[in-house]
Structure 1
Amino acid sequence: MPSAYVGALLGPLGGGVLAPMLPQVGESLQVSAGAVATSITTYFVPFAVIQLISGTLGERWGRRRTVRAAYLVYALGSLVCAFAPSFGTFLLARAVMGAANAFTGPLLVAGLADLVPRERLSRSVGVISSWMAAGQSVAPFVGGVAAAGSWRFAFVIVAAVAVLLSLSPPPGEPRPGTAAPSWRSLLRRDVGLLAVGGFVSYLGAAALPFMVALYLNDSLHVGPGLTGVALLGFGVAGLLLGPAWGSLNQRFGARMCGVVAAVATAAFVALVGVTGTAWTLALCWTAAGAASSMLTIALQNLTVRAVRGNRGGVLSVVSAFRFAGAALAPAAWLPLYHGGGVTAFAVAGASVLLALPVLAVVGGHDRG
């Protein structure tokens, strides 16, 4: 199902493309770069909230038609961003993009989990996670290159990708009546624990490109083009290592891999705040991306097995909390960042360690 892998990069691409071009968008729309940063939250809040129900609704309506419609709405929102005449219009379009994206990622992973044999599931989750990482890595690069010319072009690219993906949605017909999955099946302890793990994994690591970009600009005096290059490594590491992390999950278990990954992620995120050159920052950020991708894959492997009768539902709920962490990251870390970059990155990294007790007690099969 190649389209599922490509589709997995769309959300991170549309969400992260803004990070390296905050000053340029602000100048064009006559607001501050800090104000533009709030549009990250505007994107992720509806994305996170709607995912509490989107997976179960998509399973009921049918994955195929739900994902196709979501792609087209996402493309429309991206085009409105590209040609937005005002900041208010830009914010509204970002919210529409976030809402539409809530109906794609979880259903793509659910469809993949139903198609691949159980013995290959861990590696397949690693592969699709690597494509999500590709979106993370391509996003700042596209944004940085576009900022050097016209930031609006970046949103045109995102819209074009969404339209192409709408031509190949995942299989899955409507499940009406008694076949319809229930929200009650999601009211389990392990679902709640996995939601907490997903939340802190994004809050303290995957949602930090905006802060890394600000640090590069403010402390290291790096321009938008090189900022995009420096941010690239986080996603590239996940892209290249995703299949390997999936295989390790299959061999050693998701919980063990997740514990190692959480500790490593915390350490490398903290190191970003003490770097003094762009290349050392890029190295630490790339290492953080490698560890963070392993943590994401471990949590995804546990999640996809948690409620097999409603895979889309459980994946969307946990994803909702993951991206709630992304939505809250600017509000959580910007005040600390303005007080000192070292403290902000250290505290953000330490927050990832809250995944450790989750991984220690979550039940279910974690390999295979």
Structure 2
Amino acid sequence: MPSSIAQSSAGQAATKPVFANGVPGWFSLLLGFLTAVGPISTDIYLPAFPAMEQSFHTSAGNVQFTLAVWFVGLAIGQLSVGPLADRYGRRMPMLVGNALYAVASAICAFAPDVTTFSVARFVASVGASASLVVPTACVRDVVSDRAAGARMMSRLIMVMGVVPILAPMLGGLVVEFVSWRIIFWASAVYGVVCVALVLWILPETLPYQKRQALSPMTLVTRYVTLLWDKGYGIYAMMTAFSTFMSFSYLTAAPFVFVQLFHFSPLHFSMLFGVMSVFMIGASQVNGLLVGRVDPGRLLYGAVAMAVLGTVLMVGVSVWSVWYASAASREYEVWLLIGTMVLALAPTGIIFPNAMTMALADHPAQAGAASALAGTLQYVLGALAGVVVGQFAATSSLPMAGCMCFGAVMMLCMHVFRPADRVVA
């Protein structure tokens, strides 16, 4: 009898909303800080690529390959973490994942060669994948309205963007004055802080009665069902090709600007920060427009701007290869930066709207849906890294061409989107 009463009390407690008086502002800040594990680990060591090439006595392509390894680990990890988060709740995968990330980042800090570094980065990325999947699922847990979800996702992107702005600047400072290895000791500390935040502050947002069964066949069926849903597949692929475009820039930009245009690591990190400011600004404009402007129109406008920006980038790159002279190199830099802003800023609008629409009809499988979308993103991100790494950093054309391909594919996805999901 007492056990029945206990179970009844537990069931009643489980049905209570996580936030009885509405989602507090600190919740978005917390989720943003946790999600930033992925962006900070991607961005902070970009200015160190040339220094790592010298330290490991390896080629630029091998250093770029470490970024592709990071993306592959994130893709594989998310496929596992999503269903685990739907089965065991949101907190446990976050605790284990961030602990694994912290330990592997410490190994990266004293890796003697690029092979050891790559293996440790892969393990770290598997751990970091929890911080990419779970916060998005938490948003779906506590906010069911699409417009409200898109606004909260925009705030999440803003908070996520603060760390990536600072990260490459700090990375540039580290490379300028001390060893690049300090970057990964700092990453290990960041992972420990995330473990503490999850342990003591993050509430459990998935009630026991909403948790899903976990078995190999169930997982396969769940993912097949999601992919079979045309609406989910279209919007998930839009976020994936947005990632392809962004990671083409992330992979190539350090070598294009540091080696080709002779930026110092600090100046490159400042340029990276400027790009992040425009992306964050676009996400905040999106938060103001959601609920007032049809999300389909927002997506179309943002995708069209990205296509225009990347086409202009290709034009500038072709001009620089065949027609520009040494005297016009300064104009080339500014034209390239301007077109990059036009291409990358719209991702702050594309991602929150496309991701919200992808998850909208799958509240019971928010973890798996978020994981599959994230996996698609990082698979294409890894592909972008591999493709860009095949070209020597002798011009900006490979970067511009890959970014243009991603933007055009987003436009193709948008053309085939389900018309019934464009209304918030």
**TM-score, normalised via structure 2 length:** 0.79
Using the alignment, how far apart are the partners of 1:270 and 1:154 within structure 2?
A: 35
What is the aligned counterpart of 1:251 among 254, 273, 292?
292
Using the alignment, how far apart are the partners of 1:122 and 1:220 within structure 2?
A: 38
Residue aligning to 2:52: 25
What does residue range 160-175 of structure 1 map to in structure 2 within 5 Å? 160-169=189-198, 170-172=202-204
Using the alignment, how far apart are the partners of 1:310 and 1:37 within structure 2?
A: 35
1:120 aligns with 2:148: yes
Change (3 A) 1:228 1:339: closer
Residue aligning to 2:34: 7
Moved more, 276-285 or 211-220: 276-285
Q: CA deviation at 1:280?
A: 4.5
Runs (5+) with no aligned partner, structure 1: none
1:355 aligns with 2:407: no
Q: CA deviation at 1:111?
A: 0.7
Using the alignment, how far apart are the partners of 1:204 and 1:88 within structure 2?
A: 27
1:290 aligns with 2:345: yes
C-alpha contact 1:190 1:306 (8 A) present in aligned 2: no
Using the alignment, how far apart are the partners of 2:44 and 2:361 within structure 1?
A: 32
What is the aligned counterpart of 2:77 among 50, 59, 77?
50
- Amino-acid identity (%): 19
Change (3 A) 1:85 1:26: same
Q: CA deviation at 1:176?
A: 7.2
Residue aligning to 1:133: 161
Moved more, 176-185 or 159-168: 176-185
Q: CA deviation at 1:100?
A: 0.8
1:60 aligns with 2:87: yes
1:262 aligns with 2:303: yes
Q: Counterpart of 1:264 in 2: which secondary structure?
A: helix
What is the aligned counterpart of 1:194 among 208, 224, 235?
235
Residue aligning to 1:226: 267
C-alpha contact 2:236 2:355 (8 A) present in aligned 1: no
Which aligned runs of 4 or more in structure 1 are off by greater than 6 angstroms?
173-178
Q: CA deviation at 1:133?
A: 3.1
Residue aligning to 1:103: 130
Using the alignment, how far apart are the partners of 1:237 and 1:160 within structure 2?
A: 29
Q: CA deviation at 1:303?
A: 1.9
Residue aligning to 1:208: 249
Q: CA deviation at 1:163?
A: 1.4
Q: 1:298-318 deviations in whole A, cap 9, x for unaligned? A: 211212313111111101101
Runs (5+) with no aligned partner, structure 2: 1-26, 318-328
For 2:159, give the aligned amino acid.
W
Q: CA RMSD in A?
A: 2.5
Q: CA deviation at 1:267?
A: 2.7
Using the alignment, how far apart are the partners of 2:359 and 2:391 within structure 1?
A: 35
Using the alignment, how far apart are the partners of 1:133 and 1:264 within structure 2?
A: 21
For 1:293, give the aligned amino acid.
G
C-alpha contact 1:254 1:302 (8 A) present in aligned 2: no
Residue aligning to 2:109: 82
Change (3 A) 1:242 1:151: same
C-alpha contact 1:270 1:347 (8 A) present in aligned 2: no
Using the alignment, how far apart are the partners of 2:152 and 2:423 within structure 1?
A: 12
Moved more, 225-234 or 185-194: 185-194
May I ask how many residue pairs the two structures share in their alignment? 368
C-alpha contact 1:59 1:313 (8 A) present in aligned 2: yes
Moved more, 151-160 or 36-45: 151-160
C-alpha contact 1:7 1:108 (8 A) present in aligned 2: yes
Q: 1:311-352 deviations in whole A, cap 9, x for unaligned? A: 111011011111111111122234456575235403522331
Using the alignment, how far apart are the partners of 2:154 and 2:36 within structure 1?
A: 13
Using the alignment, how far apart are the partners of 1:92 and 1:345 within structure 2?
A: 30
Q: CA deviation at 1:173?
A: 7.0
Moved more, 116-125 or 292-301: 116-125
**TM-score, normalised via structure 1 length:** 0.90
Q: Counterpart of 1:167 in 2: which secondary structure?
A: helix
Q: Counterpart of 2:345 in 1: which secondary structure?
A: helix
